[in-house]
Amino acid sequence: MTPLRQRMIDDMKLRNFAPRTIEVYVSRVATFARYFGRSPEVLGRDEVRAYLLHLVHDQHVCWSTFNQTVAGLRFLYEVTLGREGVLVHIACPKQPKKLPVVLSLEEVARLFAAIVGLKHRAILMTAYAAGLRISEVVALRVDDIDSGRMVLRTRQAKGRRDRYVMLSPRLLTLLREYWKAARPTEWLFPGDIPGRPVTAGTVHRVCVQAARDAGLGKHVTVHTLRHSFATHLLEAGTDIRTIQVLLGHRNLKTTAVYTHVSPLAVETTRSPLDRIGPLPGEPHP
């Protein structure tokens, strides 16, 4: 590891950045350095601009990757290197708003039925039953299950916040069956490396394969299960503020996207016009 990379990592740790954020920023900066074959210390505004144009015009990266690169380079130059103005007038563009992919209850059942192995089924059913991110489900520990209060604890999730989510009785039964078979001690879902949890990559591959085996004609990831969890709660009449808390969203606007995903929520919402009394000469519906 180069001294500059270590300094950047240390600077982010001092600011309590999430491990995933540190990993992404360092990766984006490393890719930038490899493109020019030189240390970022000897590169400047012209090289940054040329590289960002390369990402857009040649690599056709998504706006999320572009924004991560800008954020990583801005931190490197302005914080670690103390060089103001390298990224002046370079903004992070707004990403196009797309509605998330959501599975129906029948499709969720087909997905779970296609999963081979008790451990993998337990992982994906936990993600759906509690609406967890992939990073949250792989980081669960055995003592995060509170069967007395029927809640699951997620530690230091996105935004470095702990939160509690519901523990489904059906999920608890499955997790008890899994625990009897696997006997995990620290991590609820241990990986192949001793003392480490299962990787997000492994869980992602399991989910994609299960969707393929189930014959689902949709792009399905673990995050699709989280979107489906929120949408199904909304369709069941759960208050959107409650859904916001369960998902760990800071802003209610983030949660409100599910009102656009669920046609049932639209169909069952009564227009205020229908609450106005009949007008003179108006035909009865």
Closest CA to 176 of 188, 166, 164, 165: 188
204 is catalytic: no
Of 120, 121, 133, 227, which one is the catalytic site residue? 133
219 is catalytic: no
Of 51, 128, 178, 258, which one is the catalytic site residue? 258
Show the DSSP H helices in the chain as ranges. 3-14, 19-36, 45-54, 63-75, 105-113, 118-130, 134-138, 169-182, 200-213, 222-235, 240-247, 252-255, 257-261, 263-267
- Sign, CA dihedral 32-36-37-39, equals negative
249 is catalytic: yes
Is residue 223 within 8 A of residue 210, CB to CB? The reply is no
Q: What angle do CA 83, 86, 87 make, to 5 degrees?
A: 125
250 is catalytic: no
133 is catalytic: yes
226 is catalytic: yes
Of 28, 163, 226, 232, which one is the catalytic site residue? 226
Sequence-separated (6 or more) residues with CB below 8 Å from residue 111: 103, 124, 207, 210, 211, 214, 216, 220
Of 141, 158, 164, 204, which one is the catalytic site residue? 158
Residues acting as catalytic residues: 133, 158, 223, 226, 249, 258
